[in-house]
């Protein structure tokens, strides 16, 4: 793969990642509620989810989602319902005097992974976005591996930035009343992300 093509891909992917979607909103919401302790599991979940989503897209699932309204709608509503569920759970989470209960690393990873990997809009987008940077005259697998690995690293760094920023805000708050407000803010962000996911329309 020519270096200039790879750099162009990095630039385009960076712009795409800067636009907050359900995954970023999940990271912000959970980091507001759980603090910086949730950052690494969330980032790992995002990286794993993007790895799966891009791999499935290149394997053809993205084209299937673009063609099948029923499959797209099923994934869309499943993702929206899961985000709303997480938002309601965070909204109602108890707050002790010392702060919010820590988010279990396994739970944080699973939540980020599911929201990222099962976002039908991302899968459909990848199948239209990534092939633009593939050279038909070169072997497919090495090129695909470079692009997937590059995107996963960028996505992880992007998620880490949002997680640490939101976690710092959460960690600076000690009063139970303010922590409860942060939990509800984070829960509201997740519920909003779920509602936004529910309004997604299939491309084409």
String of DSSP letters for 111-145: HHHHHHHT-HHHHHHHHHHGGGG--TTS-HHHHHH
Q: Which residues pair with 96 in a beta bridge?
A: 99
What angle (nearest 5°) sits at the alpha carbon of residue 58, between those of residues 73 and 128? 65
Q: What are the beta bridge partners of residue 99?
A: 96
Q: What is the C-alpha radius of gyration for the chain, rounded to an integer number of angstroms?
A: 18
Query: How confident is the model over 170-186, as a mean pLDDT?
Result: 65
pLDDT at 121: 67
DSSP state of 38: G
pLDDT at 36: 66
Residue 100 has pLDDT above 60, yes or no: no
Kindly list the domain boundaries of the chain, sorted by start residue: 3-12+22-198
Q: What is the structure's pLDDT at 93?
A: 66
* Average pLDDT estimate for 124-136: 74
Question: Is the full-model pTM beyond 0.85?
Answer: no
Inter-residue long-range contacts of 65-69, CB under 8 Å, 24+ positions, other chains counted: 65/120, 65/123, 65/124, 65/127, 65/202, 66/124, 66/127, 66/128, 66/202, 66/203, 66/204, 69/202
- Tokens standing for 118? 């099962």
Instruction: Express each pLDDT in 19-40 by its tens digit.
Output: 777 788 778 777 776 666 767 8
DSSP β-ladder status, 95-96 and 99-100 = antiparallel
């Amino acid at each position: 793969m020519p270096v200039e093509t790879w750099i162009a891909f990095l630039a385009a992917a960076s712009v795409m990642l800067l636009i907050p979607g359900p995954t970023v909103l999940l990271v912000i919401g959970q980091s507001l509620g759980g603090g910086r302790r949730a950052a690494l599991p969330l980032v790992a979940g995002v990286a794993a989810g993007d790895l799966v989503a891009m791999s499935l897209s290149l394997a053809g699932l993205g084209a299937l989602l673009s063609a099948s309204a029923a499959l797209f709608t099923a994934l869309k509503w499943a993702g929206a319902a899961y985000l709303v569920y997480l938002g309601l759970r965070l909204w109602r989470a108890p707050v002790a005097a010392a702060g919010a209960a820590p988010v279990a690393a396994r739970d944080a990873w699973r939540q980020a992974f599911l929201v990222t990997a099962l976002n039908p809009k991302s899968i459909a987008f990848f199948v239209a976005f990534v092939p633009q940077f593939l050279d038909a005259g070169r072997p497919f697998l090495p090129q695909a591996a470079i692009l997937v690995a590059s995107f996963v690293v960028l996505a992880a760094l992007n998620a880490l930035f949002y997680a640490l920023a939101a976690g710092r805000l959460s960690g600076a708050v000690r009063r139970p009343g303010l922590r409860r407000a942060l939990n509800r803010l984070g829960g509201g962000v997740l519920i909003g992300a779920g509602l936004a996911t529910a309004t997604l329309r299939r491309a084409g």
